[in-house]
Amino acid sequence: MFFNEEVIYRLWLDTIDGIGLRTKKYLIKYFGSTQNVYHAEFGELTKVIKSDRAEMINNNRQLDKAKKLAEEYMRRNITVTYPGHELYPKKLKHISDYPEILYIRGDPGILNDRLVGVVGSRYPSVYGREIAGFLSGELAKNEIGIISGLARGIDAAAHSGAICAGGKTVAVLGCGINVTYPRENAELFSQIEMSGAIISEYGLGVPPISGQFPVRNRIISGLSDGVLVVEAKRKSGSLITADLALEQGKQVYAVPGRMNDVLSEGTNNLIKQGALCVTDANDILEELFGISAVDDETEKNSLEMKIRKNIESLTDEEAQVYSCLGLEPLFIDDIVKMSGIGIRKTISILYLLCSRGIIKQPLKGYYIVCI
């Protein structure tokens, strides 16, 4: 990997504390390049920015740190790109507040592919987590990349769903490009880097600060062809992403939920306001990309078909137990009562169905169907 001279100057400007994105953008536009900003005299700087900020730049006129950083990024195989650079994502050029510098781990090329943003609650229900993973997987099977924010909950489920389906996924961080947050997603972080890309506008070591996460949402929506929201409260960061998508002219999709469910207030309101209701991956594939599911078999992507196929492979007693379950976790005592075949037989069948990957235990003693 070779970094050109402009990258050095971009890294120099990026590491000056107290200079925000708007100021950087204005300076680069006014002077024509970051290199010109570096060489601009103090008096020239004060004509376009406040004197205290001009002083920050004036007091940091050395490139040693930037050159060492460039070497470190090369050593870590991290791509550094900026507007006008050949690897800068084309889609981001069309949003007003595009990043002036972008750090990429993994494959930069995926950022120009067809992508659907999938966002939602950090503390979803089991149902929401399963649906996010299922829809992301179905989209991934149809060569649609999944982009999200690597947060716990729906984000993590969406990334995992794409990876499990053998597809590609992109994570947009709200912290430094080498910072794994939350820590519980460390393994997922590595998997995403191998099967897609991790990107951030924040360089090495920048800690996760709350204000940075809403800001990164514009990148998720900016790189997306459409944005899907799965479970969101009435006031949710996911709705910020949806609003940004609408401002950027993107289509917003939402998975409907129960009318009395707090986690579905945001998504149900989105649908009321014109977001497209999604109950199947084809709702997105057909409307956004003009394609149907793999092999043009619409039913192949439906939950009903998957459940029907599972039932056809079961004995009568297994089907009796299986029919008690759905995507809402059901406690073992309730399954025993509903099945009516006795506790020992029910437990034996639950164990068997789990071992065959037909059902699973998201919580100890609770069961749901696998999709």
Domain count, the chain: 3
Nearest residue to 250 via CA among 258, 237, 263, 241: 241
* pLDDT tens digits for range 127-137: 999 999 999 99
Shared domain for 199 and 123, answered yes or no, is: yes
- Please tell me the pTM assigned to this model: 0.86
Shared domain for 267 and 174, answered yes or no, is: yes
Shared domain for 310 and 283, answered yes or no, is: no
CA atoms within 13 A on the CB side of 236: 26
Element (H, E) at 54: helix 51-58
pLDDT score recorded for residue 296 = 44
pLDDT, greater one: 297 or 124: 124
pLDDT, greater one: 55 or 306: 55
CB-count exposure of residue 210 (10 Å: 0-12, 13-18, 19+): exposed
* pLDDT tens digits for range 52-105: 999 999 988 889 999 999 999 999 999 999 999 999 999 999 998 899 999 999
Shared domain for 182 and 288, answered yes or no, is: yes
pLDDT score recorded for residue 306 = 65
Is there a domain that residue 17 lies in? yes
Is there a domain that residue 100 lies in? no
Is there a domain that residue 95 lies in? no
pLDDT score recorded for residue 276 = 96
Instruction: State the average pLDDT for the chain.
Output: 91
pLDDT score recorded for residue 22 = 87
The identity of residue 81, as a single letter, is: T
- Domain extent at residue 330: 303-369
CATH code of the domain covering residue 340: 1.10.10.10
CATH code of the domain covering residue 63: 1.10.150
pLDDT score recorded for residue 294 = 58
Distances (CA, A) of 69 to 16, 107, 178, 207, 253: 13, 21, 13, 17, 40
Q: Last residue of some domain: 270, 298, 326?
A: 298
Shared domain for 197 and 242, answered yes or no, is: yes
Shared domain for 34 and 49, answered yes or no, is: yes
Distances (CA, A) of 306 to 76, 92, 255, 360: 43, 38, 19, 15
Is there a domain that residue 87 lies in? no
78 CB-near residues (< 8 Å, 6+ apart): 103, 104, 105, 177, 178
CATH code of the domain covering residue 184: 3.40.50.450
pLDDT score recorded for residue 299 = 46
- Pairing verdict, β 196-200 and 102-106: antiparallel
**pLDDT (mean) for 220-240:** 94
347 CB-near residues (< 8 Å, 6+ apart): 332, 336
Report d(CA 106, CA 307) in Å as an integer: 36
Shared domain for 322 and 294, answered yes or no, is: no
Q: Last residue of some domain: 298, 316, 344?
A: 298
Distance, C-alpha 348 to centroid of its chain: 39
Strands laid side by side in the 330-331 sheet = 330-331, 366-369, 359-363
Q: Last residue of some domain: 280, 298, 316?
A: 298
How many residues belong to the chain?
Answer: 371
Shared domain for 325 and 219, answered yes or no, is: no
Is there a domain that residue 58 lies in? yes
Instruction: Characterize 157-173 residue by residue with b for buried, 16 or more Cβ atoms within 10 angstroms of its Cβ, and e for exposed.
Output: bbbbbbbebebbbbbbb
For the record, the structure tokens of 213 come out as 């996460």
Shared domain for 139 and 245, answered yes or no, is: yes
pLDDT score recorded for residue 176 = 95
Is there a domain that residue 54 lies in? yes
Is there a domain that residue 282 lies in? yes
**pLDDT (mean) for 41-58:** 91
Shared domain for 290 and 144, answered yes or no, is: yes
Shared domain for 294 and 307, answered yes or no, is: no
Is there a domain that residue 22 lies in? yes
For the record, the structure tokens of 10 come out as 């971009």
Q: Which of 14-18, 85-89, 217-221, 286-290 has the lowest mean pLDDT?
A: 14-18
**What are the percentages of helix, strand and coil residues in the chain, rounded to 5?**
50, 15, 35
Report d(CA 260, CA 9) in Å as an integer: 54
pLDDT at 24 over 60: yes
Report d(CA 130, CA 33) in Å as an integer: 47
Question: Where does the pLDDT of residue 304 fall: very low under 50, low under 70, confident under 90, or very high at 90 and above?
Answer: low
* DSSP track, 87-146: TS-GGGGGSTT--S-EEEEE-GGGGGS-EEEEEE-SS--HHHHHHHHHHHHHHHHTT-EE
Cβ distance 213 to 236 under 8 Å? no
Nearest 5°: phi and psi at 38? -60, -40
Cβ distance 108 to 197 under 8 Å? yes
* pLDDT tens digits for range 153-185: 999 999 999 999 999 999 999 999 999 999 999
* pLDDT tens digits for range 241-285: 999 999 999 999 999 998 889 999 999 999 999 999 999 999 999
Nearest residue to 270 via CA among 240, 249, 225: 240
pLDDT at 298 over 50: no
Shared domain for 293 and 233, answered yes or no, is: yes
